[in-house]
Amino acid sequence: MKDEDSFLLDDPARLKALAHPMRRLMLRHLSLHGSATSTTLADLLGAKTGTTSYHLRQLEKYGFVEEVPGHSAGRERWWRRTEGPRDMRLPTPDMLAPEDRPVLMEFHRIGLEEDLALFQRLPEIYEREPRWVKASRGIARMTAQEFEEFFEAYMKVLKKHSPRAEDASPDARPMFVRLFAFPAEDG
């Protein structure tokens, strides 16, 4: 699968693998800091090595992480994010069987908790480094087709300006980027 491709995450088992809070923290660490061992991740997350090893194997099973070739020695295994597509799309509830929809809702719940925690940090980060914080708020009127076009254009811009870590400039910093867009409702 090419990096430019979008990928619909409609396999309930793969979605469930990503809906676990510890796995999400592990993936975030690997995305931000590069490869790590289960021991390193355990120390960072306050978990047991056996627990992080289990979660890494689950992420490997579904293609989200891989062992770093030639970097592991003996029992020490180094892990990294896979080179899969960066544009993973979530299914709508009607695309899943009724018994699989709770996994999608849990995925959204955990993601929202993560986003809220990031947004709560924004004032402190802005005070410390205002050049590195940007925020935008607005109201747009769109048809469903226009909204779809807006989202695709946003994803294109995001991909254009977010090279993989190994291709980024040495002075590039990892940035959390979020877009929230939804219909405005009165009341």
CATH code of 104's domain: 1.10.10.10
149 in a structural domain: no
Is 139 part of a structural domain of the chain?
no
Task: Establish if 96 belongs to a structural domain.
Answer: yes
The pTM of the full predicted model, rounded to 2 decimals, is 0.76
Whether the Cβ atoms of residue 71 and residue 62 lie closer than 8 Å to each other: no
Task: Give the containing element (helix H, strand E) for 56.
Answer: helix 49-61
In a domain, 51, yes or no: yes
Look at residue 170 and tell me if it is in a domain.
Answer: no
Q: From residue 1, give the alpha-carbon distance in Å to each of 6, 9, 89, 153.
A: 9, 13, 14, 21
Count of structural domains, the chain: 1
Which domain covers residue 113, as residue numbers?
8-132
- Grade residue 184 by pLDDT with cuts at 50, 70 and 90: low
Phi, psi of 69 (to 5 degrees): -60, 135
Residue-wise pLDDT for 31-68, tens only, equals 888 899 999 999 999 999 999 999 999 999 999 999 99
Quick check: is 177 in a domain?
no
